[in-house]
Chain A
Amino acid sequence: MSDWVEACAAGDIDEEDVMRFDHGGRTFAIYRSPDDEYFATDGLCSHEKVHLAEGLVMDDIIECPKHNGRFNYKTGDARGAPVCVNLKTYPVKVDAGKVLIQVG
């Protein structure tokens, strides 16, 4: 369970933005919130498997670039049509300027 993986440098992601991270054949999305906290979810939208990292982050919400499905990236909760399946979230920590995620 303690498989923390280095994803990027803390400065690689702007505040209120998102970045794609691929690891071990899986894809994740890593977020930096407007209040400078980091979060991680599955990288693909639960509606049509689109990379969420190409979408727009507004406050706590990531919007899918394809059909505007919305999720709270802090909790993974789907926020209405067309998405109804929540995103899986992953623990994130920042250590010595590096963003680490526990891909588990």
Chain B
Amino acid sequence: MVIIGAGECGGRAALALRDLGYEGPVTLVGDEPHLPYERPPLSKEAMTSEAPAIKAIASDELLAECSIRRSHSVRAVAIDRAEHVVRLSDGSSLAYDKLLLATGSVPRKLPMPGLGPRCVYLRTFNDALAIRAHLSPQNRVAVIGGGFIGLELAAAARKLGATVTVIEAQPRILMRGVPAEIAEIIHKAHEAEGVTILTGRGIAAIADDGAEVRIELAEGQGIGADLAVIGIGAMPVTALAAEAGLAIDNGIAVDGMLRTDDPDIFAAGDCCSFPLAIYGGRRVRLEAWRNAQEQGALAAKNMLGANEAHAAVPWFWSDQYGLTLQIAGLSDEGRSTVRRDLDDGAFILFHLAEDGRLVAASGIGPGNAVARDIRLAEMLIAKRATPAPEALGSQAVKLKSLLAA
């Protein structure tokens, strides 16, 4: 078994193969020098902690104990499907019976001239360290893109005292996947912490002379920054698969069992698009930690012949200041919403389809205030439940009681 990509998905898949009792050779190939590690902290704790360290998914000892061979700092450059061999950038080759592509995603590049050394992206631990070095009270940070990465980073930068401006081209932050009502809470939290958020503002030009980044907005305003962090989405890493002739459709196209059109090659995590069973097989690609984990584990099962279909409900979260946002399901599946207010200003929006089916739930509140109810909502979504809107909207009705119904 060969796994290309040693992030959350690949790392989990390797461990799952052993958990499932597979005793043959397992090789995990990654282009970073580090052990497989969790990426979510990179825009959060790793930015603000005194001594940032990777949060490893598996230690060297565990990998050794599991006889997982880790090939690091090396890229897969070609797949020879006829020969069942992967060629690596160091000139070596790996033979496989089953291959998993867990190549992840990379930051979408800002398609503009003028970017320089002070215009950076965040994906890896090394990226995080480089950004962190610039987060201090005397520095001005421009965050280009008001998505999760950019906003979490803005929160971390404020915590370290930097002056922060977020520039978003869309009319509001978190346009993709987050309801306006919740985005507004986050927007206000940032403003209360001293972040300047400019929405609906395109960028006309960027100039980076190595000492300062000058950003000219379309309306004429100019912003100077010591660092510009660009967080405008992610692109699936598909070149290896495409060159091997595998089907690509907004990611490496896989079926519900995470198989590509080659029966011996699977793909999972950020790099793949797959039919989401709970929404009638709608093809999606998810850039989410839990999805990477779940699909890594499922791919491992299916590489061993389980033929099990993906059935999970998408789940995302974000932490900014003291607020946690959690979303189960994809809210754009909903046609109407029901609001449930919880203690401490927390609330949940339940998204219902036309036929009354609960298809998603988005919650925000301090700490873990929404966690239980979002988890219960997730189970209701998985069951394709059609709970009464009045019950969803009333804090007096326990969601757990709806699950039993």
A residues touching B (Cβ–Cβ < 8 Å)?
Answer: 16, 50-51, 54-56, 63, 65-68, 80-82
Contacts and interface: CB of A to CB of B under 8 A. Distances in A.
Contacts of B317: 66-67
Contacts of A68: 290, 315, 375
B368 A51 contact: yes
Contacts of B368: 50-51, 54-55, 65-66
Contact of A81 (B293, B371, B400): B293
A63 B38 contact: no
Contacts of A56: 371-372, 375-376
B372 A55 contact: yes
Given A56-B376, A67-B290, A82-B293, 10 more contacts: A16-B400, A54-B371, A55-B368, A55-B375, A56-B372, A65-B372, A66-B317, A68-B290, A68-B375, A82-B57
Contact of A66 (B38, B369, B371): B371
Interface of B: 12, 15, 38, 57, 289-290, 293, 297, 315, 317, 324, 367-369, 371-372, 375-376, 400
A83 to B, nearest CB: 11
Contact of B38 (A54, A65, A80, A82): A82
B371 A65 contact: yes
A44 to B, nearest CB: 12
Contacts of A66: 317, 324, 368, 371
B312 to A, nearest CB: 11
B297 A63 contact: no
Contacts of B324: 66
20 contacts: A50-B368, A51-B368, A54-B368, A54-B369, A54-B371, A54-B372, A55-B368, A55-B372, A55-B375, A56-B371, A56-B375, A65-B371, A65-B372, A67-B290, A67-B317, A68-B315, A80-B297, A81-B12, A81-B297, A82-B38
Nearest to A84: B62
A55 B12 contact: no
Contacts of B12: 81
A63 B373 CA distance: 12
Nearest to B16: A81
Contacts of A55: 368, 371-372, 375
Contacts of B297: 80-81
Nearest to B62: A84
A13 to B, nearest CB: 14
Nearest to B376: A56
Contacts of B289: 67
**Considering residues A16, A51, A65, A67, which has the most beta carbons from chain B within 10 angstroms of its beta carbon?**
A65
A63 B369 CA distance: 14
Contacts of A81: 12, 15, 293, 297
A15 to B, nearest CB: 11
A75 to B, nearest CB: 18
A81 B324 CA distance: 21
B100 to A, nearest CB: 16
**Considering residues B293, B369, B371, B376, which has the most beta carbons from chain A within 10 angstroms of its beta carbon?**
B371
A65 B376 CA distance: 11
Contacts of B369: 54
Contacts of A63: 375
Nearest to A18: B372
Contacts of A65: 368, 371-372, 375
**Considering residues B289, B293, B368, B376, which has the most beta carbons from chain A within 10 angstroms of its beta carbon?**
B368
Contacts of B367: 54
Closest 4 pairs (CB-CB, A-B) = A65-B371, A65-B368, A54-B368, A56-B372
B380 to A, nearest CB: 13
B49 to A, nearest CB: 12
